[in-house]
Amino acid sequence: MSELKFSDLVEPVVLNQKTALRVTVLGGGSFGTAMANTATRNGCDTIIWIRDENIAAEMNATHINKRYLPDYPLEAGLKAESDLEKAVRDRDIILVAIPSHSFRDVLKKIKPFISAQAVVSLTKGVEAKTFSFMSDIIRDELPEVPYGVLSGPNLAKEIMAGQPAGTVIASDSELVRYAVQQALHSALFRVFGSDDVHGVELGGALKNIYAVAMGMAAAYNVGENTKSMILTRALAEMSRFAVKLGANPLTFLGLSGVGDLFATCNSPLSRNYQVGFALGSGKTLEQATKELGQTAEGINTIMQVNARAKELDVYMPITTALYEVIFDGAPPLNIAVSLMKNGHRSDVEFVLPHHAV
């Protein structure tokens, strides 16, 4: 791989606003499509890579993503491409919106075409078996590449409808943060910066667990008091786990933490909420997943985090109860019981002395 000079790509944008960033989004799901559309609207030369040649051709002809966002017309300048090399070679920013189970495989495939591109993950999940986050996979497969992660309360349909929203780009590289802000920031979509890559990424991945729990609770018509307790105890679990992995707990007070948690747990648009609702309605995991027709990252995340929390000795009662309900056949009431145990814990993590838990 040749020496990376990402600054060469960013500086012309700073000096000459007419120089359009070349942005590629890998993955034609709802969020990837929404970000590709946003970048196009911002004046970027944007390509969205769709694995299926026929679907890419259809999208170019109709300017609609019929499977994931059928009610929202796309910008005329957005180009769909099924050839991975054409989509990736000689671009500035590669936004990867691939489900976690395929993320590593796609990075391996693009490696021969990477020269000076920055790679940014849009995927909120954990790789099965390895417990690798997407930034870990980028470092594994593309070790010389400048990288980042994008995460926040970003329901694709609301973004496509033009409702105001915000997100966080986390990267150790100020240039990567700036370039992504240039590509995606607009009057209706605010892009904040952070250097806590793992914290931002953990918020995006972990909140999917609690969206499943909230969907399950909604199926039982729980009240506002219970919903509020689920949200706040979820935030406590998330921050406990993240700090154990080296993240900054204050990151969880922002958009990628409590913001994303609130949006995902309170929206019937969320895939994880929908799966939880189906499970709470008495359906099996197989039935719930089949009806949804899309990947619900939260199910895999529950499996991975439950195992990792045991290894690290992190107290995560909601996650443990969810695992037992989904995979061990425990009654859903176990989730409510898990919320009521150990009543002498501190309400807010890291406030009381360590022994007062």
- Which residues participate in catalysis according to the annotation? 207
Q: At what angle do helices 100-110 and 297-312 cross, to 10 degrees?
A: 100
CB 332 within 8 A of CB 216: yes
Q: What is the DSSP letter of 126?
A: B
Two structure tokens written together for 159: 């973004």
* H or E stretch at 307: helix 297-312
**Of the candidates 150, 260, 155, which has an alpha carbon nearest to the alpha carbon of residue 211?**
260
**Neighbour tally for 113: CB within 10 Å:** 16
SS3 content of the chain, % helix, strand, coil (to 5): 55, 10, 35
User: What type of residue sits at position 29?
Assistant: G
CB 61 within 8 A of CB 206: no
Longest CA span, the chain: 63
CA dist 348 and 166 (Å) reads 25
User: What type of residue sits at position 179?
Assistant: A
